[in-house]
Amino acid sequence: MSGDNGFTNKRGLPEWYHDLYWAFNYDATSGGKRRSDFSATGLIKPTQITVLGERYGDLVTEDIADCTWKLLGSAAHSAMYSMQKRSMARMVEEGVAPRVRPVLERRMYTSILIPGTDEGMVTISGAPDRICIDGVTRDFKFTSAWTHVFRSRDREWKRQLAIYNWLGFMYGMDVANQGEICAIFRDWDEKKMMSNDKYPRINVGFYEFDLPSPAATARWIQGKVEEIFACRKLPDDEQPECIVGGEEDDVWASEEKWAYYKSDKLVKATKLFTSEEEAQKRLDVEGKGHIVHRPGERKRCAGYCGVAPWCAQYGKWRQEQGLPPLDVPTAKEA
């Protein structure tokens, strides 16, 4: 099975470990009890990623050494599921919880009409970690502590919870249009917490969201699916661009900076500036030190988007930055 499990093993990790990844290739749209056209996690992605993924997904490979965090997230989800089940059973047994239990990781399916298409109808699915007896939709995330600092996933999390809330409503649940994310910070570091006020105080965080009504979410889903259908007819270089910067940022952009170092011995910059002129002014005032240019980044494109080699938007940005074009795979790596 090694080499045939959808993952590469470029760092030569033991073969039995590589083989394990065969079981890791779960696709929510084809797994579960029945097939669906779009999963909640798929719908919240930018349309450009979805359409290019449909076109080139077969050529995208991931290396097992880059999947360790995903593996740990998946393992932690399984542990949470078992823990929740046991805790529910105990509470019911001891009479501290009603017999109506939260819905745990149940995959739900709802079909919507897409007029003017050959398909006519598509099925949306989603499996929230928990829809509680108080009607709040809850999900666990195993993520970087920097997600808390930059609040970079809020929009995505809120949308995902809203889709689950809508699915719960369609299944007749008494949903509260409220969501909560329990984020467990896999890389939390006490030293960073001591030196940065914005860093999370502890290694777990809870984020509450007011969710749109099921009717409003249904309209959003309808619009999103219609956009995907329309974009399937467009060439790669006419796909709607991912949003860069601001609250809606899709590409996890960071601005270019000029770092001023007061002394050549310093590892950490004395101050960061958003323009070269400002940095130069500081250098002139201090009369010593040096400036280092830090180019802007698009972290998602650079490391977390499998379709980056086919993306015209990212290709253009790389060209503007003087970076070489990415290699475009023509066959799946073994």
How far is residue 318's CA from residue 325's CA, in Å, rounded to a whole number? 7
46 scored as a contact of ligand SF4 (CB under 6 A): yes
Other C-beta atoms closer than 10 Å to the C-beta of 287 total: 6
224 scored as a contact of ligand SF4 (CB under 6 A): no
105/241 with CB nearer ligand SF4 = 241
207/314 with CB nearer ligand SF4 = 314
In the complex, the smallest distance separating the C-beta of residue 306 from ligand SF4, rounded to whole angstroms, is 8
The residue count for binding ligand SF4 (CB under 6 A) is 15
- Kindly report the backbone phi and psi dihedral angles of residue 260, in degrees, each rounded to the nearest multiple of 5, phi listed first: -100, 125
221/307 with CB nearer ligand SF4 = 307
The token duo for 290 is: 């040096």
19/66 with CB nearer ligand SF4 = 66
108/305 with CB nearer ligand SF4 = 305
In the complex, the smallest distance separating the C-beta of residue 154 from ligand SF4, rounded to whole angstroms, is 18
Neighbouring C-alpha atoms within 13 Å toward the C-beta of 184: 12
198-230: b or e for each residue (b if 16 or more CB lie within 10 Å)?
A: ebbeeeebebebebbebeebbeebeebbeebbe
Query: Which of 104, 126, 313, 318 contacts ligand SF4 by CB under 6 A?
Result: 313
Piece in contact with ligand SF4 (CB under 6 A), picked from 24-32, 42-50, 62-70, 89-97: 42-50
3-state secondary structure of 161: helix
48 scored as a contact of ligand SF4 (CB under 6 A): yes
Which residue type is seen at 239?
Q
110/239 with CB nearer ligand SF4 = 239
Q: What character string, x for contact with ligand SF4 (CB under 6 A) and - otherwise, covers 273-312?
A: -------------------------x-xx---x-xx--x-
How far is residue 250's CA from residue 79's CA, in Å, rounded to a whole number? 30
In the complex, the smallest distance separating the C-beta of residue 232 from ligand SF4, rounded to whole angstroms, is 15
Whether the CB-CB separation of 188 and 147 falls below 8 Å is answered with no
In the complex, the smallest distance separating the C-beta of residue 235 from ligand SF4, rounded to whole angstroms, is 14
In the complex, the smallest distance separating the C-beta of residue 255 from ligand SF4, rounded to whole angstroms, is 16
52/283 with CB nearer ligand SF4 = 52
Whether the CB-CB separation of 139 and 167 falls below 8 Å is answered with no
Query: Which of 40, 43, 44, 49 contacts ligand SF4 by CB under 6 A?
Result: 49
Per-residue CA distances from 326 to 306, 312, 321, 322 (Å): 12, 11, 13, 12
Q: What character string, x for contact with ligand SF4 (CB under 6 A) and - otherwise, covers 229-258?
A: -------------x-------xx-------
- Identify the residue whose tokens are 């919880």: 97
The token duo for 252 is: 């996890």
Alpha carbon distance, N-terminus to C-terminus of the chain: 11
- Kindly report the backbone phi and psi dihedral angles of residue 109, in degrees, each rounded to the nearest multiple of 5, phi listed first: -130, 135
Cβ partners under 8 Å of residue 271, min gap 6: 259, 260, 282
Return residues touching ligand SF4 (CB under 6 A): 46, 48-49, 242, 250-251, 298, 300-301, 305, 307-308, 311, 313-314
